Amino acid sequence: MTRHPVWDPFIRLFHWSLVGLFAANALFTDDESTLHEWVGYAAVALIAARLIWGLIGPRHARFADFLPSPRAALQQLQDIATGRHRVHLGHTPLGALMILNLLATILLIGATGYMMTTNAFWGVGWVEETHEVLVSWAEISIVAHIAAVIWESIRTGVNLPRAMVSGVKSVPDDATIVE
């Protein structure tokens, strides 16, 4: 195994903090409570910090490093279909699409949640319904994300959850690495 430092401390702290905040609001706080609102605001603030870090952070944290092209996403699907084990040091193209999906979805959840606290949108059905649909979409996406991480870890031999804790990807010596 070859060790590659990939995820800086901010990325790891961001990831696990967002996991905790989303789980807290989805599973533990009362939807009508002030705590629910503040946890939501914290999640949005965390994403705002991540967006800044995506512009100024180290290589694999930068959006320019992992914004996928359609060709790269199709190549990863082809790798999966043919059993080819190419390891991406940073985010995989499909993983990057999921990250963008989750960031946008959680920001929209925050926006609709905030709208529900304003006089202009308080009690407006479509805002509340949109908020609930977005939460459901985020939950579906999170389950898909976890399944894909497990699948890719098994498929490529790289323990991705461990890498998101330690910051280091341990890549099998015989793996083809994609920068």
Is the per-residue pLDDT at 179 higher than 80?
A: no
Confidence of residue 157 (pLDDT cuts 50, 70, 90): very high
- Are 19 and 135 contacting, i.e. CB atoms less than 8 angstroms apart? no
- Structural domain tally of the chain? 1
Q: Could you report the per-residue pLDDT of 58-117, keeping only the tens digit for each?
A: 999 999 988 888 999 999 999 999 988 889 999 999 999 999 999 999 999 999 999 999
Q: Could you report the per-residue pLDDT of 21-48, keeping only the tens digit for each?
A: 999 999 999 999 999 999 999 999 999 9
In angstroms, the CA 22 to CA 135 distance is 9
For residue 85, the model assigns a pLDDT of: 84
Residue 91's domain spans which residues? 2-178
**Mean pLDDT across 144-155:** 95
pLDDT, averaged across the chain: 95
Label residues 48-82 b or e (16+ Cβ within 10 Å = b): eebeebbeebeebbebebbebeeebeebbeebbee
Distance of CA 5 to the CA centre of its chain: 19
CA distances from 139 to 133, 134, 142, 164 (A): 10, 9, 5, 20
Rg, the chain, Cα only: 18
CATH of the domain at 124: 1.20.950.20
In angstroms, the CA 12 to CA 167 distance is 7
